């Protein structure tokens, strides 16, 4: 053991606020400190996950107030699995953007790294916390850093994308706060485990109203269908690595909060079916919209929304296999989509509008980046032997076990659409002539390293899926077992008060 | 306070908070000026804060502090948790408003207008 779960939140927040001071001492510290912190978080999270898989969840009590009263952190196989992915992604994004504006200007880099740390800290907090109001606070921390990162470049339309995101984000945060007020007025508690144990006492009408407000409040970070209007613009206007961070970190936290709420907090019959239906709508609309896009990052953004729809469909199947498939897909998406964003932003590095036809013929000029982008494209559409194949297969098998044949047909049809628009780009990279006014930009060593790490992981999961399935099985059992979650958290409270 | 009077007061406060939320929602969704949208968001926040504080209030409640003369006043104290929530929510609302206004300044410098119809470069 190298620490406790609370350090996963405390250290990045501390580092984020120390960065400006340390930058006064030596400017290079602004770049080095986030790397050290994120590497430490990654190691801490992985070692805690290893411990938790053997010995059962860690419930950490904050400030000495026992769980139903105070805030507690839950580091279980599920939450540990997600925090490990997020901190790893945070580290990869740091590695990629280590030289961000290095010889240009000091101020932007400082802000960039501060908000990157806050984004990771908030996302980890959303996943770890066991208190709904605390989760609201973390959602706002993630939100504010995401608005700021979206508006990062002053030259583009980024302020407009960011304002749009802020408008939707702050309206949905208000909905979340109303939901918290309803739950508190009915049950008199904010602790997730206690809400889950008492939720049958709640008036059914209020329960459904509170759940709807919760879904509206969290759905925005999870890119759920009517609330995902911010995503294409934010992904397009934000710096390239931030697109990767959104897809790998922020959206995963949103999906987790939503699923925890539907599976654990409220046992409303039909909520899971709602997830299935909204997931299908999200999937179909996003994938058809992706085909029409003529800008690379916008296409990737719609594809990201579509993948989140697929995750919701898999959760919506509602069985253990469905949850397993959804978590597997979340892992794969968290690795493949950042690879696509990172390599894709080098393919259109010097282009102003990032049109897809500007990648024509770059396969000769940027060989490694192009190979990595193609690898990501093959993996995300689910070609065997790459990582995406196994998760798509497990979703189809989970649906087949439940006899949901129509859903299988829809998923396969959408996969064909996915193949069309990804292979269109790959085709352009390799078989088109490069136009003269496109100047390819070679990636730096650190950026190349971060992309190669992601590519190797895709191949490893693709050829040896057994290396991760054990963890995902334990995580999915952890999500389905509400009784155990309640007992784990509340028993800590009892043992403290004795 | 008499029970009936308290009921009326409570109803009034709840309706006022819901009215505030609706006014804010109206401003945020229908106004075309960026500043008015930000004001609308703040009004929604204020409404929710009022709602939260009202949930924690009890008839003839006292401040939730144990002080000399009030050692066994736990039953008549108002619930302190919503007040703590509101304090936190005010700070968060302040931060969001600050970010929103700085974005409005940025948009104004770029486009020289605050009308949302004239700024649309991105598709909604």
Q: Write out pLDDT tens, residues A311-337.
A: 999 999 888 899 999 999 999 999 999
Contact A163 B52 (CB under 8 A): no
Nearest CA in chain B to A180: B52
Q: How do residues A261-286 score in pLDDT, each as one tens digit?
A: 888 888 788 888 888 999 999 999 99
Please tell me the predicted confidence (pLDDT) of residue A402. 86
| Confidence tier at A495 by pLDDT (50, 70, 90) | low
Whether the per-residue pLDDT at A83 is higher than 80: the answer is: yes
- Pick A144's closest partner by Cβ from B37, B96, B107: B96
Minimum mean pLDDT among A205-214, A224-233, A383-392, A432-441: which range?
A: A432-441
Whether the per-residue pLDDT at A153 is higher than 80: the answer is: yes
Q: How do residues A213-249 score in pLDDT, each as one tens digit?
A: 999 988 888 888 888 888 888 888 888 889 999 998 9
| Confidence tier at A103 by pLDDT (50, 70, 90) | low
- Residue B52 belongs to a domain with what CATH number? 1.10.287.3510
Whether the per-residue pLDDT at A302 is higher than 80: the answer is: yes
Please tell me the predicted confidence (pLDDT) of residue A384. 83
CA-to-CA dists, residue A368 to A94, A343, A359, angstroms:
20, 9, 14
Q: Does B8 touch chain A (CB under 8 A)?
A: no
Which run of H or of E encompasses A74? strand A72-75
Burial class (CB in 10 A: 0-12, 13-18, 19+), A54: exposed
Supply φ then ψ for residue A99, to 5 degrees. Answer: -95, 15
Nearest CA in chain A to B55: A185
As a residue count, chain B comes to 124
Q: How do residues A394-422 score in pLDDT, each as one tens digit?
A: 999 999 988 888 899 999 999 999 999 89
Nearest CA in chain A to B25: A171
Whether the per-residue pLDDT at A105 is higher than 90: the answer is: no
Q: Which residues of chain B have pLDDT under 70?
A: 1, 121-124
Q: Does A140 touch chain B (CB under 8 A)?
A: yes
Q: What three-state secondary structure class fits A355?
A: strand
Please tell me the predicted confidence (pLDDT) of residue A319. 87
Nearest CA in chain A to B18: A178
Please tell me the predicted confidence (pLDDT) of residue A219. 87
Q: Are the C-beta atoms of A385 and A376 separated by less than 8 Å?
A: no
- Work out the average pLDDT over A165-184: 91
Please tell me the predicted confidence (pLDDT) of residue A175. 92
Contact B95 A177 (CB under 8 A): no
Tokens of A114: 């501060």
- Report the percent of chain A where pLDDT is more than 90: 39
Please tell me the predicted confidence (pLDDT) of residue A239. 86
Cis check for the bond before A178: say yes or no (omega within 30 of 0).
Answer: no
Please tell me the predicted confidence (pLDDT) of residue A55. 85
How far does Cα B7 stand from its chain's mean position?
22
| Confidence tier at A176 by pLDDT (50, 70, 90) | very high
Q: Is the pTM of this model over 0.80?
A: yes
Please tell me the predicted confidence (pLDDT) of residue B124. 46
**Residue A311 carries which DSSP code?**
H
Residue A29 CA to residue A31 CA, distance in Å, equals 5
Q: Which residues of B touch A188 (CB under 8 A)?
A: 79
Contact A154 B106 (CB under 8 A): yes
- Pick A166's closest partner by Cβ from B45, B48, B99: B99
- Work out the average pLDDT over A112-128: 92
What is the CB neighbour count within 10 angstroms for residue A16?
Answer: 22
Please tell me the predicted confidence (pLDDT) of residue A338. 93
Q: Does B104 touch chain A (CB under 8 A)?
A: yes
Range of the domain at B101: 4-122
Candidates A426, A235, A234, A443; CA nearest to A350 is A443
Whether the per-residue pLDDT at A498 is higher than 50: the answer is: no
Q: How many domains does chain B have?
A: 1
Please tell me the predicted confidence (pLDDT) of residue B121. 66
Q: Does B17 touch chain A (CB under 8 A)?
A: no
Residue with tokens 């961070």: A245
Please tell me the predicted confidence (pLDDT) of residue A104. 64
Supply φ then ψ for residue A264, to 5 degrees. Answer: -105, -50
- Work out the average pLDDT over A296-318: 90
Tokens of A465: 């899926």
Candidates A232, A245, A11; CA nearest to A145 is A245
Contact A181 B45 (CB under 8 A): no
């Amino acid at each position: 053991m190298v620490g406790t779960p609370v350090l996963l939140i405390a250290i990045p927040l501390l580092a984020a606020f120390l960065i400006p001071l340390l930058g006064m001492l030596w400017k290079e510290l602004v770049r080095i400190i986030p790397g050290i912190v994120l590497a430490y978080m990654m190691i801490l999270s992985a070692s805690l996950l290893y411990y938790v898989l053997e010995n059962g969840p860690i419930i950490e009590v904050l400030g000495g107030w026992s769980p139903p009263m105070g805030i507690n952190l839950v580091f279980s196989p599920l939450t540990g699995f997600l925090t490990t992915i997020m901190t790893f992604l945070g580290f990869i994004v740091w590695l990629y953007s280590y030289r961000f504006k290095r010889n240009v200007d000091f101020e932007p880099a400082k802000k960039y790294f501060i908000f990157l740390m806050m984004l990771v800290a908030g996302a980890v907090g959303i996943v770890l916390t066991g208190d709904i109001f605390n989760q609201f606070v973390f959602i706002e921390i993630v939100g504010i850093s995401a608005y700021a990162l979206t508006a990062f470049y002053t030259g583009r339309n980024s302020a407009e994308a960011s304002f749009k995101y802020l408008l939707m984000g702050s309206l949905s945060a208000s909905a979340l706060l109303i939901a918290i007020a309803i739950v508190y007025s009915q049950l008199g508690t904010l602790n997730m485990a206690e809400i889950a144990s008492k939720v049958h006492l709640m008036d059914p009408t209020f329960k459904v109203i509170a759940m709807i407000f919760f879904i509206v409040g969290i759905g925005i970070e999870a890119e759920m269908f009517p609330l995902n209007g911010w995503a294409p613009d934010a992904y397009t206007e934000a710096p390239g690595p931030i697109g990767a961070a959104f897809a790998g970190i922020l959206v995963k936290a949103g999906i987790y909060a939503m699923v925890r709420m539907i599976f654990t907090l409220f046992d409303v019959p039909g909520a899971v079916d709602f997830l299935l239906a909204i997931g299908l709508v999200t999937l179909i609309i996003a994938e058809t919209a992706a085909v029409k896009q003529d800008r690379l990052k916008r296409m990737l953004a719609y594809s990201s929304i579509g993948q989140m729809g697929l995750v919701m469909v898999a959760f919506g199947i509602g069985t253990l296999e469905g949850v397993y498939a959804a978590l597997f897909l979340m892992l794969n998406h968290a690795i493949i989509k950042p690879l696509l964003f990172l390599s894709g932003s080098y393919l259109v590095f010097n282009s102003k509008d990032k049109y897809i036809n500007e990648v024509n013929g770059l396969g000769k000029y940027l060989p490694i980046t192009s190979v990595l982008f193609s690898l990501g494209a093959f993996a995300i559409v689910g070609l065997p032997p790459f990582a995406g194949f196994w998760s798509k297969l497990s979703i189809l098998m989970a649906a087949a076990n439940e006899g949901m044949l129509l859903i299988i047909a829809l998923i396969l049809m959408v996969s064909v659409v996915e193949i069309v628009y990804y292979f269109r780009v790959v085709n352009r990279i390799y078989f088109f002539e490069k136009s003269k006014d496109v100047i390819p930009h070679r990636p730096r060593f650190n950026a190349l390293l971060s992309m190669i790490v992601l590519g190797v992981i895709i191949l490893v999961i693709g050829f040896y899926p057994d290396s991760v399935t054990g963890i995902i099985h334990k995580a999915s059992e952890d999500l389905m077992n509400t009784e155990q979650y309640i007992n784990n958290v509340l028993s800590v409270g009892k043992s403290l008060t004795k | 306070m008499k029970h009936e009077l308290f009921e009326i007061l409570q109803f009034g406060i709840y309706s006022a908070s819901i009215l505030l939320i609706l006014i804010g929602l109206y401003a945020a969704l229908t106004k075309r000026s960026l500043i008015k949208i930000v004001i609308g968001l703040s009004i929604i926040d204020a409404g929710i804060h009022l709602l939260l504080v009202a949930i924690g209030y009890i008839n003839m409640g006292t401040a939730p502090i144990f002080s000399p003369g009030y050692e066994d006043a736990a039953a008549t104290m108002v619930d302190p948790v919503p007040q703590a929530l509101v304090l936190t929510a005010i700070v968060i609302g302040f931060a969001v408003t600050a970010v929103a206004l700085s974005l409005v300044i940025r948009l104004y410098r770029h486009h020289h207008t605050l009308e949302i119809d004239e700024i649309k470069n991105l598709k909604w």
